[in-house]
Chains A and B, each alone.
Chain A
């Protein structure tokens, strides 16, 4: 069996002082995160906090009609289930694995015990929550103001950053449902990016060929979210 990836590949876990890591890590459980797995439904009471290491989780807002829109993506920079420590009884969004991989999981009970030790974990998690707020606000603006081509670039960049990769396994249906548009629209937008030599698209896989160009074609929403996440998660904040 292959060794699981190190917990430190998650930026929150990495940011903790060594003594705290040594104490906390034995309580983490490495879990597989297959594509499409629902970590929790909107309105559910949370039991675990997930720290993705090489997977991406989409947070989706589900409307009464059943339609949904992505409001944030979480990967190795963050944690899924912030409602657990923010004091909300339930979560307002659905969390679904968008790119398969794995994560480390901590139980809500254990999390509470860790907080009682007054280490750095709560502080790092709260700062991450602020960067999540920035991402949500920017997504709202992006949905309203920016064209599909720009949104697609933003979405690809945010997702890739969370995997530390230039390759994404994803279908156009999935992208369409995340951005909240029809699949045909995504096919056309992806076609345009491919023609420009920015990406290569083949059978459920997108490879970024020209990252700088992709950033130039994206709306500012990507750089705003990235700058704020980098700032708040910096080791010497």
Chain B
């Protein structure tokens, strides 16, 4: 199981002593699509480090479907507020692609972060990466076309799952992108006609990664480069 844990890039790159202090009482959990593992405004009981699943960070507003403002997979973790000394998150976390995550109790996580300077620094740096992603999310949603954002979203999902096959409906994609279904269908058809993806009933295959990267807004490359430079 320890080998599984290392697939999460944050845990995998920790020093042995930090890992030893974090592990007691923790373990892998299977997450199912649609599971809400973090509820906005509620005290966090656990921190999740995705291994091969993807979690959408959603902001819920009154009458609209929730809007996705971030996507977390093996490069990250759910529970940033705990790093910053808060106990609850203002976003919710819903499983987008099922799989395994390593789960650690919030109390232990907080204790360890306080006790180890290297761990605290590393986690704080991840919180910074998370904030950078939010910064971009706000601007990206505002300025970039739906086709660009769709290409970016598909690439981000594929990276987080390490797979070029995604199980998704147009309806779901529309929620994530904050647009109408008809718009998503049109944008997906556009990418399909350019030979970049193959779409069929709840399933999207990425056919041409390079092509998708050119079709995406610059936010994709920018975010990836920022992550690498800070979290290596």
Binding site for B on A (CB under 8 A): 59, 61, 63-65, 67-69, 71, 82-83, 85-89, 92-93, 123, 126-127, 129-130, 132-134, 136-141, 143-145, 180, 219-221, 224, 228, 232
Contact = CB atoms under 8 A, between A and B. Distances in A.
Given A71-B138, A130-B81, 17 more contacts: A63-B218, A86-B127, A86-B128, A92-B136, A133-B131, A136-B134, A136-B137, A137-B59, A137-B137, A139-B138, A140-B69, A140-B134, A140-B137, A144-B67, A144-B142, A180-B143, A220-B62
B230 interface: yes
B85 interface: yes
Nearest to B141: A144
Given A127-B85, A137-B69, A228-B90, A143 B138 contact: yes
A80 to B, nearest CB: 14
Contacts of B62: 220
A59 B64 CA distance: 27
B135 A86 contact: no
Interface in B177-232: 178, 218, 226, 229-230
B52 to A, nearest CB: 26
17 contacts: A63-B139, A69-B139, A69-B143, A86-B131, A92-B136, A130-B86, A132-B131, A133-B134, A134-B90, A136-B131, A136-B135, A137-B59, A137-B69, A138-B59, A141-B61, A220-B61, A224-B90
B67 A140 contact: yes
A87 B121 contact: yes
B124 interface: yes
What interface size band does chain B fall in? 35 or more
B141 A61 contact: no
A180 B67 contact: no
Nearest to A126: B84
B77 to A, nearest CB: 14
Interface of B: 57, 59, 61-62, 64, 67, 69, 80-81, 83-86, 90-91, 121, 124-125, 127-132, 134-139, 141-143, 178, 218, 226, 229-230
**Pairs of residues from A and B, 9 with the lowest C-beta to C-beta distance, nearest first:** A86-B128, A140-B138, A61-B139, A87-B125, A88-B128, A134-B90, A130-B84, A136-B134, A126-B84
A65 B230 CA distance: 24
B173 to A, nearest CB: 15
Contacts of A69: 138-139, 142-143
Contact of A143 (B124, B141, B226): B141
Max chain A Cβ within 10 angstroms of own Cβ: one of B59, B138, B139, B226? B138
A64 B135 contact: no
A55 to B, nearest CB: 21
A88 B80 CA distance: 15
Contacts of B67: 140-141, 144-145
Contacts of B69: 137, 140-141
Nearest to B134: A136
Contact of B90 (A85, A127, A137): A137
B174 to A, nearest CB: 12
A133 B124 CA distance: 13
Contacts of A71: 134-135, 138-139
A129 B143 contact: no
A136 B138 contact: yes
B92 to A, nearest CB: 11
A17 B14 CA distance: 34
A126 B128 CA distance: 11
A26 B152 CA distance: 48
A92 B61 contact: no
Contact of A130 (B85, B135, B178, B218): B85
Given A129-B131, A140-B59, A228-B90, A87 B139 contact: no
